[in-house]
Amino acid sequence: MWRRHAFAAAVIGCCCLVIGVSSGRTQGSELLMVTLEHPPHSFEADGKVTGASTEMLQRILTQMGYKPLFQILPWQRAQAMIEEGTAAGIYTYSQTPARLAAAYYSNPVSFTSDVLFKRKNDPIAWKTFADLHPYRVGASERYNYPKDFLEAAEQGVFMLEYVYGENANLQNLRKLKAKRIDLFICNPDVCGFIVKTKAPELDDLDYAENLVAPLRTFHVGFSKKWPNSKEIRNEFNKRFDEFLESGELRQIYDRYSIKPDYSKLGSNGKYFLDKDAE
């Protein structure tokens, strides 16, 4: 009798091992998620990575049975880790050919746009890139700026000055206040959040209302070299739709003053994905 029970236990144990190996996941498996200092989506506060997208990922990945670990890095290094497969995911992620080759993209989790920040007392108005010719325009390293904007700068239509390293957006806003640049291209949610949290230091800054380019989508990218990453992405998409429908996403985004068109997020917005996205 004892031998039969022992044999049965061994068989069950082996089956559980096979199932665990085939799924590539055990309860509480760690997932390293890399990002950059990109408030309000991801930033460090009190020694901890937080932000709207960070909170959303924390909840959804935990519900999926994972233990997400978040790390803020220079963007170039974070992208290299996705290409190498030493990080499971990256956020918030817009679409470029190089990124599409390295990662499986989630459905849209938010939107991004670009405006030109300026000093409130400067009556700067513009309609075309040619109108920017008299001004020094600031930009941050490795951001996925609109193609037409970058091409205009490369052609000498206006002068573009980059800031490199961590906290590049904050550095650019401070350069703008100090009159070392005249304009700074940035997402209004991102830099608006920085201006708000750094009050009153940057209170004399605002932005021109017209967009530099149409709205683009933000995603979560899952490294193609991470085990079972496509399955993780697929399950994430399903859980995100549930998170969106329950109203939990809106609760998080409202706390960070992010107001996307919720009807175009998740599977409802998958048509925004590039034809080469997998």
pLDDT tens digits, 99-109: 999 999 999 99
Q: For the residues 15-32, what does the mean pLDDT come to?
A: 54
Q: What global pTM score does this model have? A: 0.79
pLDDT-derived band at 160, boundaries 50, 70, 90: very high
The three-state secondary structure class of 183 is strand
Quickly state the pLDDT bin for 265 (edges 50, 70, 90): very high
Q: Is 114-214 in the same CATH topology as 25-111+215-272?
A: yes
pLDDT, one tens digit per residue, over 113-138 is: 999 999 999 999 999 999 999 999 99
Q: What is the CATH number of domain 114-214?
A: 3.40.190.10
Break the chain into its structural domains and give their ranges.
Answer: 25-111+215-272, 114-214
Is the pLDDT confidence value at 52 over 80?
Answer: yes
Domain 25-111+215-272, CATH class in plain words: alpha beta
